[in-house]
Amino acid sequence: MNQGYKQNWEETRQRFAAWWKREEADRPVFVITSPKDIQKEFQEEPGESLSLREQWLNVEQVLEQTEIGFTNTAFLGEGFPNYWANLGPGSFSTFIGAKPVFEPDTVWYEPAFKGIREAYPSIDIGREWFNWSLNATQMAIKKSKGRYLITFPDFIENLDTIASLLGTEETLYYLVDAPSEIHRMQQQLLPMWFNACQTFYDLIKDEQGWSSFAAFSIWGPGKTIKLQCDISAMISSSMYDEFVLPYLKEQCDGLDSTIYHLDGKNAIHHLKSLLSITSLDCIQWTPGAGEPDGGDPCWDTIYRKTLEAGKCIHAHMPIQRVRDFVKRFGKTGILIQTYAKDEKEAEALLKDSLTW
């Protein structure tokens, strides 16, 4: 890797490798960013005159804005600069027919099918968006010149993809009224999802076969991907075990380095099922809006059960929480993502953590 935006790439790789294996460590993996002490001024913000759609899809302008951000950001510990072809949280659904609706800060999806019995997804339906994502990834690889990682898009999978294709409320009804059709769609979607993963992995893998998923700043050997099922907050454990768990297990078995995004209090009751998947490596806990942050002791049971199951944890918290969190859980298998007000604060955390 080129050291233009980050200096310690090789040490970062070594620490991630040890984290995935849950090897004993002198400190946790720390994904830290802060403003650079010396900020570079730019005359004009690129892309200001573009339409909302162009602000998402004009890759040249997006990359220019991204690199401005990198220029003024310090990536410390295991933090690293990255870019992904961003069609919002759930771009896989656009590859198979969901229509993206661009907003200033996110992307929503209009359903592709009017009913589940007519829903036969195909990559050809969303070929435009699949091709855009491939082209954006290729452009970024060329422009990055090894200065930052090009990562997997935020595909999203399982029932969340079906909800994008059919609508969330409709999908919840179909779980009761048409369970065999839900299974049929899961079985059809799984090989298409694996093919998309392989296609992008072949583009983004580095010389050692490593890849990355950007949203949670993870980097690892082989296909390194985040998995999730946010709609699971609205279903029972028995439904999760029937309609999600078998397909999730297949995904974990077919990947190399896996992290599950457990989102919100209403999804906690699925933790036991998740921890039963031998090939799942890590749980990333997100408390959700209005809840205490990820370092609050009220969530300790989640982290403790995850570590006891032999898996890694990924926790996001304010920097003021970090010391106590490490005191409670140690350093092995722990990744903490946080932000510092400046480089001095970040460097102090890295130094002090070696003595805890």
DSSP string, 156-170: --HHHHHHHHH-HHH
Cβ-proximal residues to 198 (8 Å cutoff; 6+ apart), any chain: 223
In the three-class reduction of DSSP (H, G, I as helix; E, B as strand; rest coil), residue 102 is classed as strand
Cα distance between residue 203 and residue 140, in whole Å = 11
Band (9; pLDDT cuts 50, 70, 90): very high
**Tokens at residue 8, please?**
């310690």
- pLDDT > 70? residue 47: no
pLDDT band (50, 70, 90) for residue 307: very high
**Which CATH code for domain 9-353?**
3.20.20.210
Return d(Cα 338, Cα 71) in angstroms, integer. 19
Helix (H, G, I), strand (E, B) or coil at 119: coil
What was the pLDDT predicted at 70?
97
Pair of tokens at residue 118: 């007519």
Question: Residue range 10-28: average pLDDT?
Answer: 98
Strand partners for 338:
32
Q: Among all chains, which residue has been given the structure tokens 């951000």?
A: 69
Tokens of 6: 């980050």
Measured CA to CA, the distance from residue 4 to residue 177 in angstroms comes to 55
Measured between its terminal Cα atoms, the distance across the chain in Å is 31
pLDDT reading at 44 higher than 70: no
Structure tokens of 47?
A: 């892309």
Backbone φ, ψ for residue 31 (5° rounding): -95, 100
pLDDT, tens only, 127-155? 999 999 999 999 999 999 999 999 999 99
Helices (H) and strands (E) in the chain, counts: 14, 13
**253, 279 contact by CB (below 8 A):** yes
71, exposed or middle or buried, with CB in 10 Å at 0-12, 13-18, 19+? middle
Maximum alpha-carbon separation in the chain: 61
The pLDDT value recorded for residue 232 is 98
pLDDT tier at 45, thresholds 50, 70, 90: low
Q: How buried is 257 (Cβ within 10 angstroms: 0-12 exposed, 13-18 middle, 19+ buried)?
A: buried
pLDDT at 50: 81
The pLDDT score that the predictor gives to residue 215 is 84
Instruction: Please give the C-alpha separations between residue 213 and each of 79, 82, 187, in angstroms, as whole numbers.
Output: 12, 9, 24
Q: Tell me the chain's radius of gyration from C-alpha atoms.
A: 20
Domain ranges of the chain: 9-353
pLDDT > 90? residue 46: no
Q: What is the mean pLDDT of the chain?
A: 96
Q: How many CB atoms lie within 10 A of CB 125?
A: 18
Q: Is the pLDDT reported for residue 197 higher than 90?
A: yes
